[in-house]
Amino acid sequence: MTLPSYYPVFLNLKGKKCIVVGGGRVAERKTLSLLESGADITLISPEATKRLREESTNRLNRARGSGGNLRHISREYKKGDLRNAFLVIAATDSNKINSRVSEDAPCLVNVVDVPSMCNFIVPSVVKRGPLTIAISTSGVSPSIAKAIRKELEKLYGAEFGKRLASLKKIRAKAMTEIKDKKKRERFLKKLGAEAIKKLRQKKF
């Protein structure tokens, strides 16, 4: 079987209609990740974890300052639930339901741990503030992707996120104050190189 040639992309899901079918721990993990992206999520499952039930009331969303929303429909999945969805994740323990979701989806669809039912897969991710590093083996070995992620987490610590937050402010100032494009590009490249050098010196 020939593996798909995946196109790597970062999606802006703010306000987008996303549907998660399933209410267990895996669905919880996927849903929380979507909430952090600001998605408008509908969770479809007769049962849901305590965390998901709390999130569906928006109590934790407000406390965390998340831009996402979550609504829980407490029943089994049925045809028509995916209408107008932008992205769908099937995370139930039923192969039959997951297969139906995959077949019905008119959009981006991911069936957890079954690449053959997906038209996109979710990479292993390292996130440090604005820095996001995505690792994928195209579904060949999630365990290897996870191992690489753990190595990168050690290499790129919390200090990278803090440094990028500072660089963001400096870059915004440079964009308005340095009018010459070439001078601005040289300044920003030098700034980035110096930041990496300092961070690596601290690390090693």
pLDDT at position 179 is 94
The token pair that represents 8 in the structure block? 């790597």
Report if residue 144 sits inside a domain: no
* Amino acid 103: pLDDT: 98
Contact partners, residue 182, CB within 8 Å, separation at least 6: none
Residue 117 counted as domain residue: yes
Same domain, 12 and 107: yes
Whether 141 is in a domain gets the answer no
- Same domain? For 29 and 110 the reply is yes
The pLDDT assigned to 198 comes to: 80
In 3D space, the residue among 20, 72, 81 whose CA is nearest the CA of residue 46 turns out to be 72
Instruction: Kindly state whether residue 137 falls inside one of the protein's structural domains.
Output: no
**Domain CATH number, residue 10:** 3.40.50.720
Q: How many domains does the chain have?
A: 2
The verdict on 109 and 192 lying in the same domain is no
Residues 10 and 104 in one domain: yes
**Residue 204 binned pLDDT confidence (cut-offs 50, 70, 90):** very low
Question: Which domain, by its residues, includes 167?
Answer: 158-203
Q: Is residue 146 one of the residues assigned to a domain? A: no
Whether 114 and 63 map to the same domain: the answer is: yes
> Is the predicted pLDDT of residue 113 greater than 70, yes or no?
yes
pLDDT of residue 143: 92
- Is the residue at 44 inside a domain? yes
Amino acid 151: pLDDT: 95
Q: Classify residue 153: in a domain, yes or no.
A: no
114 and 171 share one domain: no
Residue 176 pLDDT greater than 90, yes or no: yes
Residues 5, 106, single domain; the answer is yes
Tell whether 9 and 60 lie within a shared domain.
yes
Q: Looking at the structure, do residues 190 and 115 belong to the same domain, yes or no?
A: no
Residue 171 has pLDDT above 80, yes or no: yes
More confident residue, 37 or 57: 37
> Do 3 and 50 reside in the same domain of the chain?
yes
Find the mean pLDDT for residues 41-53.
Answer: 96
Q: What is the DSSP letter of 58?
A: T
Mean pLDDT of 122-137: 93
Is residue 135 situated within a structural domain? no
Res. 122: pLDDT tops 70: yes
Helix (H) or strand (E) holding 69: strand 69-73
pLDDT class of 159 with cuts at 50, 70, 90: confident
Q: What mean pLDDT is reported for the chain?
A: 91
Task: Please indicate, yes or no, whether residues 37 and 116 belong to a single structural domain of this protein.
Answer: yes
Which pLDDT tens digit goes with each residue over 50-98?
Answer: 999 999 876 445 545 556 899 999 999 999 999 999 999 999 999 999 9
pLDDT of residue 8: 93
Question: C-alpha distances in angstroms, 64 versus 36, 45, 60, 111?
Answer: 9, 24, 6, 28
Do 88 and 172 reside in the same domain of the chain?
A: no
